[in-house]
Structure 1
Amino acid sequence: MRKLMLAVGGSLILVAPLSQADVVGLGASVSYWDSDLSGKAATNNDVVDVENDLNLDSDTNANASLYLEHPVPLLPNVRLNYTLVEQSGRGDVGLAGFDGVTGEVQSDLDLEQLDLTLYYEVLDNWVNLDLGLTARDFSGELIVKEALTGVPSSQTKVDAVIPMGYLAARFDLPLTGLSVGAEGNFISFDGDSLHDFNAYGQYEISLIQFRAGYRQMSIDYEDDNDRLDVEIGGPFVSAGVSF
């Protein structure tokens, strides 16, 4: 069942005079995220530890972003961001089992999200500050099945479109091409919460940007009888272009 969360704690837009780009700007980047997973999943009142019981390991992490900035007053800038995390593992849930599955199990976890962010540049000099709102189309699915036969199997699934606050700050070191920054999305509402933050160092030469940093994502979300309460974190590297 798709749930729509309608509130973000506190209004972000706008608390300071806006800054517009002088010309139209376009940028894109791709990144590799070496993440680890911890936490729990639950369905029908059964709970399993995704790290210790299922031994989930990262197989695929994909992330890509695209942004457009413009000089038109009052209209927000636009950013799209896509993240895919796929993890699998072979573990043991014992005789107590999980949702009807017992003993040695094969598990697969897929987390996919597409963000549409509308934001304003509050500061745009050697200190850069962006504030805005993100609509995140988020889905997560955990499949747990008996390792040898594939039956029985269990499916834990959450699916939602979630509004989140967006904050990004960057500090440029003059005449070096180097900068440091952080950005994130966040919401906490009615017992559910999602937080997605990263901090990085960046080097820019001509139109090319290289980043390295650390990203941490925390998901605590319930959809009917299914719940994911997991954390994903680890270092990342990215390369991008800006025009």
Structure 2
Amino acid sequence: MKLIRSAVMLSAIAVVPAAQSDVLGFGASIGYWDSDLSGKSSKGGDRVNVENELDLSNNTEANLSAFLEHPVPLLPNVRLSYVKVDQTGRGELDNGYDNIPAGASVDSSLDWRQTDLTLYYEVLDNWVNLDLGLTARDLDAKLEIVDVADLTRSTTEVDAVIPMVYAAARFDLPLTGVSVGVNGNVISYSGDSVYDYDIYGQYAVAGLQLRAGYREMAVDYEDGDDRLDIDIGGPFASVGFSF
């Protein structure tokens, strides 16, 4: 894979300090993300601005996550997360794109699916919490553009499994249930880059967690003749539990 070699990523996880949880723990959450889209899509030598020309806007989204932490030495903890973004719009092309002429009125849709498997260690676990690890991201993003006049259809798609460095930090205000934190994944290699992060405030009581903040994802990735250089960002809110 073009982004980075698996052997390099696996060797990197071996140097992470193995400070594990003292007990078995599990948690899950579901959230809503009110995101805006910007950036460009390219196919061959053609390029389109997804915000200004396609006028894509939020349609439906789903954000799910779950984690399992354990006290077994050396074995990493596990986190799974899933993001679904559907955006649609009608716009007008400034320039020709993949056999659709300049000036054409087009209907467009972005279908974004991403599943993350993260293996991580708890480096700090008190009022300051720090997790470090690696994420394997299965990304399937498809942008479809249809000429309203003659139904000529263009599809630009990125389908890849991307290894990323993962880090998460949380700072708890003792005895209040209030905390602030940041989570992030990032990789950059040979002209391609992928990152996402979220910054949040959280209130937890009796295992229930209410969280709100800001999340942003950026992908600049080439898959054959198709390239997506897209940024998705906006506020989010979630509810979860842990025990």
TM-score normalised by structure 1 residue count: 0.94
Distance 2:54 2:107 in 1: 8
Q: How does 1:133-172 map to 2 (within 5 A)?
A: 133-149=134-150, 151-172=151-172
Query: 1:75 aligns to what?
Result: 75
Distance 1:134 1:86 in 2: 23
Check whether the contact 2:16–2:132 (CA below 8 A) recurs between aligned residues: no
Shift of 1:19: 2.0
Query: 1:110 aligns to what?
Result: 111
Query: 2:225 aligns to what?
Result: 225
Number of matched residues? Answer: 239
1:100 to 2:99 alignment:
yes
Deviation by residue 1:40-90 (Cα, 9 ceiling, x = unmatched)? 000021000000000000101111001000000000000000001111000
Distance 2:219 2:3 in 1: 14
Task: State the Cα RMSD in Å.
Answer: 1.6
Check whether the contact 2:112–2:141 (CA below 8 A) recurs between aligned residues: yes
Check whether the contact 1:143–1:153 (CA below 8 A) recurs between aligned residues: yes
Distance 1:5 1:52 in 2: 29
Q: 1:45 to 1:79 in 2, by over 3 A?
A: same
- Counterpart of 2:198, as a letter, is N
Identity of aligned residues (%): 59
Check whether the contact 2:22–2:71 (CA below 8 A) recurs between aligned residues: yes
Q: Which runs of 4+ in 1 moved over 6 A?
A: 8-11
- Give the 3-state SS of the residue equivalent to 1:105 in structure 2: strand
Distance 1:7 1:217 in 2: 22
Q: 1:57 to 1:72 in 2, by over 3 A?
A: same
Deviation by residue 1:141-171 (Cα, 9 ceiling, x = unmatched)? 010011244x211010111001000000000
Distance 1:198 1:63 in 2: 13
- Counterpart of 1:133, as a letter, is L
Query: 1:60 aligns to what?
Result: 60
Check whether the contact 2:209–2:240 (CA below 8 A) recurs between aligned residues: yes
- Counterpart of 1:51, as a letter, is E
Distance 1:214 1:237 in 2: 9
- Counterpart of 2:28, as a letter, is A
- Counterpart of 1:90, as a letter, is R
Q: How does 1:1-243 map to 2 (within 5 A)?
A: 3=1, 5-7=3-5, 13=13, 17-94=17-94, 96-102=95-101, 103-149=104-150, 151-243=151-243
Check whether the contact 1:12–1:131 (CA below 8 A) recurs between aligned residues: no
Structure 1: runs of 5+ lacking an equivalent = none
Deviation by residue 1:118-137 (Cα, 9 ceiling, x = unmatched)? 00000000000000000000
Structure 2: runs of 5+ lacking an equivalent = none
Check whether the contact 1:90–1:147 (CA below 8 A) recurs between aligned residues: no
Shift of 1:97: 2.2
Distance 2:227 2:88 in 1: 18
- Counterpart of 1:56, as a letter, is L
Shift of 1:14: 5.8
- Give the 3-state SS of the residue equivalent to 1:54 in structure 2: coil
Distance 2:123 2:240 in 1: 23
